[in-house]
């Protein structure tokens, strides 16, 4: 890639590659094919770049070159790389050829990429149409990705992670057009940044997202550490989204991340010594008010995650919250979870669980966000921060342990046409307020247990943060004088109009 080619130009080239599918293939489907082809292009270009690097380093000694390549983080054989696929673009069985290449890439990299492409079929009649039409679309797709501006080899760019940025850009574009399904695989970058800064992961931390989607939030939290001394773990129930997450991790140089394809509530797979793994940081944007989440099995959960109470059958919010609090390390684990506002005040089983969490003194902060931040829903959401390092209420000594911080950040944002965004200054204000754990007039409030008990454990933010703006006092006498003045001027104007009408004989 030429150094004169901008990130935006690369993004636009890849986005235009979607034209091969628009109007005939559901975007929810073709996003998987576009992102997979982008992944193949990256692997091929990086492998080619490494081959050139070692050939030069070892003066063309192929035996030494092959030995060095074998120690790389992945392997791409010649009959599976992008150039090979491009050379076969006119073949009548091009879909099958691409599928075979994906199998070869998996087989050569089983430890990191096994089963990543199992949900991807480039020879699918349902996705691409009958043979002639399928071949035409796949040929166009390969030609689109053969654009010289998409030479993603690191030696052609001073941005080694350029492809990670392109991948994130594409996921965001697909999320913007995916409606309600968008929330299943993507958290807006500004919200991810906010959560990462709030949880402040440290070197050596184990970080988990039990509803990781395409992995963007998990990656952002990992990057906040500032070095590579951390471990990422995730769970995702949707097979296609799990594949996107695995590729996303790989493209960001985090291919050692352990991402499990499973149902977090009913069949968690992040297990250690026959128990749930524990983490320093747990973060998630789980599906809002998920119906049929596994209520029927919760009372006999083998990990006893729902000892505070079983959430209602039709709303799984507290199922995810309970899971996340349980997998946070006792005495030090931190949890950040995005929730709909109903979680803050609904009664019944949810009210019982909320009361117990508060009485344990693990809830540290409740942060209200602006509406329309998230793809697929216009409702405002909140962030709950739990801290398992907090002491019980009876032993609390410092201000942080003796209060729950409420922040109303719902009125400070960039007003977009279709979607609102948190600005850097909005994120900074929220993070600073949380770190300093302070009350700010009409923005934040420190609530002791007694105040929350008085509110019957209702966490609705307006109960604690008064945002009411008093109207200015009205000077009735002055208003009356202004009205009288206007009436006099109106009478004079009417006289003038009448005079002109008479002169015109009307």
- Dihedral angle computed from the Cα positions of residues 141, 147, 152 and 158, in that order, rounded to the nearest 10 degrees: -150
* pLDDT of amino acid 468: 63
Residues 224, 197: contact at Cβ < 8 Å?
A: yes
Question: How many structural domains compose the chain?
Answer: 3
Percentage of residues of the chain with pLDDT beyond 90: 69
What are the tens digits of pLDDT across the range 95-154?
999 999 999 999 999 989 999 998 899 999 888 889 999 999 999 999 999 988 887 665
Residues 367, 430: contact at Cβ < 8 Å?
A: yes
Segment holding 322, helix H or strand E: helix 317-327
Confidence (pTM) = 0.87
Give the separation between CA 230 and CA 474, rounded to whole angstroms. Answer: 60
Do 345 and 439 share a domain, yes or no?
Answer: yes
> Which of 102, 99, 170, 168 has its CA nearest to residue 128?
99
pLDDT at residue 155 tops 70 = no
Do 356 and 481 share a domain, yes or no?
Answer: no
Q: How many residues does the chain have?
A: 506
* pLDDT of amino acid 154: 55
Give the separation between CA 142 and CA 151, rounded to whole angstroms. Answer: 13
Q: Is residue 470 one of the residues assigned to a domain?
A: no
pLDDT at residue 33 tops 80 = yes
Give the separation between CA 200 and CA 202, rounded to whole angstroms. Answer: 6
Do 459 and 485 share a domain, yes or no?
Answer: no
Q: Which residue has the higher pLDDT, 330 or 505?
A: 330
**Which 3 state secondary structure label does DSSP give 27?**
helix
* pLDDT of amino acid 29: 76
Give the separation between CA 189 and CA 70, rounded to whole angstroms. Answer: 36
* pLDDT of amino acid 453: 97
Residues 152, 50: contact at Cβ < 8 Å?
A: no
Q: Is residue 468 one of the residues assigned to a domain?
A: no
**Which 3 state secondary structure label does DSSP give 459?**
coil
Do 152 and 185 share a domain, yes or no?
Answer: no
Residues sharing a CB contact under 8 Å with residue 250, sequence separation 6 or more, in sequence order: 39, 74, 112, 113
Do 18 and 117 share a domain, yes or no?
Answer: yes
pLDDT at residue 238 tops 70 = yes
- Dihedral angle computed from the Cα positions of residues 279, 283, 288 and 294, in that order, rounded to the nearest 10 degrees: -10
Q: Is residue 419 one of the residues assigned to a domain?
A: yes
Do 208 and 225 share a domain, yes or no?
Answer: yes
Question: Which among 24-33, 152-161, 162-171 has the top mean pLDDT?
Answer: 162-171
Mean pLDDT along residues 3-25: 78
pLDDT at residue 259 tops 90 = yes
pLDDT at residue 157 tops 80 = no
* pLDDT of amino acid 16: 86
Percentage of residues of the chain with pLDDT beyond 70: 93
Q: Which two tokens stand for residue 367?
A: 């942060």
* pLDDT of amino acid 1: 44
Give the separation between CA 355 and CA 358, rounded to whole angstroms. Answer: 5
pLDDT band with cut points at 50, 70 and 90 for residue 85: very high
Q: Which residue has the higher pLDDT, 465 or 473?
A: 465
* pLDDT of amino acid 2: 47
Do 366 and 408 share a domain, yes or no?
Answer: yes
Give the separation between CA 174 and CA 187, rounded to whole angstroms. Answer: 12
Mean pLDDT along residues 155-177: 70
Domain that holds residue 293: 180-463
> Which of 74, 424, 108 has its CA nearest to residue 249?
74
Give the separation between CA 79 and CA 101, rounded to whole angstroms. Answer: 7
pLDDT band with cut points at 50, 70 and 90 for residue 180: low
């Amino acid at each position: 890639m030429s150094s004169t080619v901008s990130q935006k130009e690369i993004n636009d080239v890849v986005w235009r590659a979607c034209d091969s599918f628009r109007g005939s293939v559901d975007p929810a489907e073709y996003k998987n094919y576009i992102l997979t082809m982008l992944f193949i292009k990256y692997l091929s270009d990086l492998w080619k770049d490494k081959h050139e690097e070692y050939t030069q380093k070892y003066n063309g000694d192929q035996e030494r070159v092959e030995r060095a390549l074998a120690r790389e983080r992945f392997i791409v054989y010649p009959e599976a790389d992008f150039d090979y696929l491009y050379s076969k673009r006119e073949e009548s069985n091009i879909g099958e050829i691409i599928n075979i290449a994906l199998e070869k890439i998996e087989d050569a990299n089983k430890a990191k990429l096994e089963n990543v492409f199992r949900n991807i079929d480039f020879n699918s009649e349902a996705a691409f149409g009958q043979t002639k039409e399928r071949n035409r679309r796949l040929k166009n797709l390969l030609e689109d990705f053969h654009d010289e501006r998409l030479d993603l080899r690191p030696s052609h760019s001073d941005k080694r992670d350029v492809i990670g940025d392109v991948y994130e850009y594409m996921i965001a574009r697909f999320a913007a057009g995916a409606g309600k399904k968008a929330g299943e695989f993507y958290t807006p970058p500004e919200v991810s940044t906010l959560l990462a800064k709030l949880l402040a992961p440290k070197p050596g931390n184990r970080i988990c997202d039990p509803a990781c989607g395409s992995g963007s939030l998990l990656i952002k939290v990992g990057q906040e550490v500032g070095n590579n001394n951390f471990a990422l773990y995730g769970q995702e129930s949707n097979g296609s989204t799990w594949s996107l997450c695995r590729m996303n991790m790989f493209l960001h140089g985090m291919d050692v991340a352990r991402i499990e394809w499973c149902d977090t509530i009913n069949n968690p797979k992040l297990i250690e010594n026959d128990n749930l793994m524990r983490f320093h940081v747990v973060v998630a944007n789980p599906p809002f008010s998920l119906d049929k989440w596994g209520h029927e099995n919760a009372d006999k959960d083998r990990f006893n995650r729902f000892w505070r109470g079983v959430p209602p059958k039709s709303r799984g919010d507290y199922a995810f919250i309970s899971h996340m609090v349980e997998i946070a390390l006792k005495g030090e684990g931190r949890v950040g979870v995005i929730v709909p506002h109903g979680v803050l005040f609904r009664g019944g089983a949810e009210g019982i669980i909320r009361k117990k969490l508060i009485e344990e003194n693990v809830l540290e902060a409740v942060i209200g966000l602006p509406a329309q931040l998230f793809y697929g829903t216009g409702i405002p959401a909140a962030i709950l921060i739990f801290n398992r390092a907090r002491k019980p209420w009876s032993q609390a000594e410092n201000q942080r342990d003796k209060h729950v911080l409420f922040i109303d950040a719902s009125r400070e944002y960039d007003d977009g046409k279709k979607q609102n965004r948190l600005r850097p200054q909005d994120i900074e204000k929220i993070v600073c307020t949380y770190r300093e754990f302070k009350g700010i007039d009409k923005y934040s409030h420190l609530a002791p247990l007694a105040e929350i008990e008085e509110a019957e454990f209702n966490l609705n933010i307006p109960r604690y943060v008064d945002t009411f703006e008093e109207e200015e006092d009205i000077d009735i006498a002055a208003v009356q004088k202004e009205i009288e003045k206007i009436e006099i001027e109106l009478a004079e104007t009417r006289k003038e109009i009448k005079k002109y009408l008479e002169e015109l004989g009307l």
